[in-house]
Chain A
């Protein structure tokens, strides 16, 4: 048996910047030493949700010493446009504003304090116009960004009409602020010949580069965008980092001085879009055993004032409405509504969570009505053998791990026993109630806009056997660079420490896709591997020569850990091979490229294969609540997640844990509120509550599915960034279980999201009232 190859792949790895984070050496945009002549760019925004701009005058502001310039829309030399998918988003407002926080002016000055003083001296006159804020109202008034997207199968009307149990209703989910710890920031530096270098906290530097070029009327080769790292992104910096970078670039272009634009927390929360609030109206039919027979659903997303990525987000919600369940007859229709809120945008899960939670609530209702354990009811609805293995959009789901995960998790979490114990506990305990919920997961992996599924890399091998790796992905904490480092080390056969992952830059890899859709490692990993293999195969004959091995035999040489190993065990330092390759005039650098094969979706037919594969998972969540206050606490969380053959299990575990807690925040404590005028009320962490340490479960058992390689993906791994967020939906099922202890048999629970203490207490009070009413009805019927 051959000796195993020594590789860092699939090994527990620390984050490549872990020590940099902990020592404070890791630099973010705002940490770079201020370049000489730096001006601060301060954004002045609309205070109204909708208004006409009557007058803009900076005369008084410009008299303030230390103010370099005040820029309005008219100062944009190129196209005043930063819309990500449609030209509907001016960088600086022209004669009308469509949301609170829309940028109207950029003040450039020696300090932020000075800029703020100057901003107070700006004379901008608004004429307030009526604003449309509410999703229901937008639907009623036909205010939409998009036409309906429909997917259908079978005769849904007939199936519904004959269904033994019919459930109709609405599911509404709220917005979620990204609350990345690092707010939006960009630093623009002037270079020779009118060129610009922009350091940006963006998940999509190529798009930032393109937007800057368009705004300034430059060709893209004059603009370099770099991303050192982000202090969190979560989708909030996929498209919405572009505005701040373009403003910084505009300021630098106009003044020929370096310009930094950084939002403070309140600005960031007001001015950037959030996870879309959704409203789903449905009509569902079930058989007596809780099998879904038909589902007719209309899904609406509140897109805010511009389209941004809302179309794809809505699509993904539709793709995940019935996630891993078989629906014989269905019609799903989705539209993006247009309102006067900040433009809502990508957020981890990208519409998937909103679609999924609607489907899961429908199943919870059926379980409550039929008195069936909701985990069992879910299991009965799983996709199954052909022809029941097709999603609503007709993609066949191959090598599903859903059943395996269900079986393993039910045992490891002692689900059945604990559910019974909880029932007993709840009968004895008047004020504290517990609940247990199970959530399966099937999440489609790929950008659903197929052309985005491509990636590039640039690898440089030096004569001392060390390497630099550039790829198109960005590091926002998810450990992408760590995985890329491990892949490069594996493919080149060098120790991890010899591979340095470089700052992401548009001058290294062009035309990249956003680091998004959980696809960062899948796409860039293949590209990095491709580049590394190209170099390795170029120097393989040199190694063979140096080791005295026939060229035909050279395929048996193993590149590992800084050496090339011959079949007989002799080893040669890679450094020597590289040196020799250099002297033989062999190129030691290569680009790599990857595109995902075999995917495509026909939106007009609502059918196709939008996904390369699916990620699976499952969670069992136990929660306790107080019936006096509605306060809740996670008691225990068991997760079994499918990351394929994880490239870096330590990193992936962190992704699972972090995503779960973030999803739990969305569903419980994170409540975004606006007043009747469209002003954001929850614009700082004093009122907007993301989970703190005490909200994380004390008993948090996370496992990655073992022996689960995925074919056709780098290293047999699977994407992991977004999917586990949706496992948190188990908490809602668990809460409903706890609240159902106040319900009469067969009585449903109504619980709104986010499940704040207030929402929980309201649900308990309403459940008690309806139970009492049912009881008295029964009593009078018996009398």
Chain B
């Protein structure tokens, strides 16, 4: 059995006596006495626990990633370098971010502030922050109940991508350690294999072990339902699952690629995906959550699925015996139930290129625009023939049924018809037969159905304006360039 080893604020920390479900936040606060990171919600919805982890982008560029330490299980940090707010001061002098927060009145009660500061660490040392919406996106995972955010925004504007060549920046270039791990404590196990082969061997030996990737969903079982998983197998350090490859048909995305990595690699080339990722949870969550995780938890309100359903993605499911490939709509069998067999994992998402002449977009409606869960999400794809009739219609919906699902009846109502406002409006009636949504805290059945219909209408108008231009600060998920005028 291995020892847990990680580096916190440049000091090596080792432990063998903590259960693998110990969260990084608990470890920092209770074991190391580093109380800068706070617990505000224990579910990744407030950001008060934010810390940064040294990482490399898929292209090898060094970077810091802000993460919610409340949703990180300690073994996930094996071999990693973690930095907390306590690491920022140099010889008793505050870091430029800390000074800026004080100067701009960025704190009032101060409880969210260490988390905000650590999100700003990522922002400061990122090299790709240029637009205002990106700054809001960087900070959407940090709830501040006091300031009203204006001051925090000013700090972000001042510092984003300023990349000071200071002592903290040097830490970007430290060596990363191997992350393979086999850990056990009081009968609870955590494995982090270093290859697919090893992964399948572990699954064979521990048939009840559960696969974990970023853990942003699974950790809630620990922090909210107080359960301790018996055995977890991480896919984080499996290189075969960490690649994005360009193919003739499109892209092959490894299941353990994070959503941030997906954004960095693909976003500009697949507009519906980019659009969805802009309103997908928060930066901290996307820095941990993976493509495979979001699909495999098979939540009816997972935001990738509607887009993937519309784009016609296919999935490779791998096991020790080989690999099979299925269209994504055959993957979701029921509420949180997938087509994965025992011993089988999702290895690759095959994402086709969006062909010329196709109209495609994605939508997400929620009570709050950022850092919220879908009330209704939709991915839409329609190919138009030369005569303007619709062929190849795919509408993927989330939040409308027990699984993410295609609106087959509505698709049929549209296929072969002229792509006009009249036929689109007429087809929305078919949604009533495709779905019987529920009422819950996020919205009523009436609202879900009304929005599902209106999204289709909105799709017609949005894509009718030509290629979708993403609004940097949209009022609505439907980006009407001329704002409908």
Contacts and interface: CB of A to CB of B under 8 A. Distances in A.
Interface of A: 14-15, 17-28, 30-31, 33, 113, 116, 178-183, 229-234, 264-266, 425, 428-432, 476-479, 624-626, 628-633, 650-651, 653-654, 657-662, 669, 671, 673, 681-682, 684-687, 689-696, 698, 700, 702, 756-758, 761-762, 765
Interface in B365-382: 365, 367-373, 375
B454 A628 contact: yes
B60 to A, nearest CB: 31
Contacts of B107: 15, 17-18, 21-22, 477
A21 B110 contact: yes
B105 interface: yes
Given A22-B106, A629-B478, A696 B35 contact: no
Nearest to B86: A24
B109 A758 contact: no
B437 to A, nearest CB: 13
Contact of A651 (B33, B97, B105): B105
10 contacts: A15-B102, A18-B107, A21-B107, A25-B36, A628-B476, A633-B473, A689-B367, A690-B143, A695-B368, A761-B450
A340 B441 CA distance: 20
B485 A425 contact: yes
A626 B106 CA distance: 31
Q: Kindly name the residue among A33, A265, A690 whose own CB sees the greatest number of chain B CB atoms within 10 A.
A: A265
A22 B109 contact: no
Helix, strand, loop or mixed for chain A's interface?
A: loop
Q: Kindly name the residue among A425, A689, A693 whose own CB sees the greatest number of chain B CB atoms within 10 A.
A: A693
Q: Kindly name the residue among B107, B442, B458, B477 whose own CB sees the greatest number of chain A CB atoms within 10 A.
A: B107
Given A232-B109, A625-B475, A23 B136 contact: no
A197 B146 CA distance: 29
Given A181-B111, A758-B443, A22 B476 contact: no
A229 B103 CA distance: 21
A690 B441 contact: no
A170 B372 CA distance: 31
A636 to B, nearest CB: 12
Nearest to A431: B484
Q: Kindly name the residue among A264, A681, A689, A702 whose own CB sees the greatest number of chain B CB atoms within 10 A.
A: A689
Nearest to A660: B148
Contacts of A428: 485
Give the contact-size bracket for chain B.
Answer: 35 or more
A432 B148 contact: no
Contacts of B289: none
Interface in B91-115: 94, 97-99, 101-103, 105-114
B476 A692 contact: no
Nearest to A478: B108
B27 interface: no
Given A22-B101, A628-B476, A669-B367, A182 B38 contact: yes
A181 B145 contact: yes
Contacts of B145: 178-181, 232, 234, 658, 662, 690
A33 B33 CA distance: 7
B85 A654 contact: no
B147 interface: yes
Contacts of B146: 232, 477, 654, 658
B103 A14 contact: yes
Given A22-B117, A684-B224, 16 more contacts: A15-B107, A21-B101, A22-B97, A113-B226, A179-B143, A264-B39, A425-B485, A626-B477, A628-B455, A628-B457, A631-B475, A661-B148, A671-B367, A681-B440, A686-B373, A696-B153
A231 B136 contact: no
Given A116-B226, A631-B369, A690-B145, A18 B105 contact: yes
A698 to B, nearest CB: 6
A657 B147 CA distance: 6
Contacts of A659: 148
Nearest to A702: B150
B140 interface: yes
Given A626-B478, A691-B368, A658 B455 contact: no
Contact of A23 (B38, B85, B446, B476): B85
Given A24-B84, A232-B109, A758-B447, A693 B441 contact: no
Interface in B228-286: none
A761 B477 CA distance: 14
Given A429-B484, A631-B475, A685-B46, A230 B113 contact: no
A432 B482 CA distance: 10
A182 B461 CA distance: 45
Contacts of A687: 373, 441-442
Contacts of A669: 367-368
Contacts of B8: none
Interface in B133-174: 136, 139-140, 142-153
B102 A19 contact: yes
B41 interface: yes
B483 interface: yes
B43 interface: yes
Nearest to B149: A696
A18 B443 CA distance: 39
Contacts of A182: 38, 40, 109, 111
A27 to B, nearest CB: 7
A624 B485 CA distance: 13
Contact of A626 (B86, B97, B476): B476
A18 B458 contact: no
Given A181-B112, A658-B148, A24 B36 contact: yes
Interface in B69-102: 84-86, 88-89, 94, 97-99, 101-102
Contacts of A691: 148-149, 368
A536 B365 CA distance: 62
Contacts of A15: 102, 105, 107-108, 110
B110 A20 contact: yes
Contacts of A25: 36
B24 interface: no
Given A180-B145, A765-B450, A430 B484 contact: yes
B45 A684 contact: yes
A762 B365 CA distance: 15
B292 to A, nearest CB: 22
A432 B480 contact: yes
B40 A696 contact: no
A30 B29 CA distance: 10
Given A27-B35, A662-B145, A17 B451 contact: no
Given A431-B458, A692-B143, A479 B478 contact: no
Contact of B94 (A19, A658, A682): A19
Contacts of B447: 630, 757-758, 761-762
Nearest to B100: A22
B89 A23 contact: yes
Nearest to B228: A113
A658 B151 CA distance: 10
B323 interface: no
B327 interface: no
Contacts of A28: 38, 111
Q: Kindly name the residue among A23, A183, A681 whose own CB sees the greatest number of chain B CB atoms within 10 A.
A: A23
B475 A632 contact: yes
A631 B366 CA distance: 8
A693 B369 contact: no
A744 to B, nearest CB: 21
A425 B454 CA distance: 21
B476 A629 contact: yes
Contacts of B86: 23-24
Contacts of B143: 179, 181, 685, 690, 692
Nearest to B37: A24
B88 A23 contact: yes
B109 A229 contact: yes
B360 interface: no
Interface string B446-485: 1100110011011001000000000001111110100111
Given A23-B85, A661-B148, A681-B441, A476 B43 contact: no
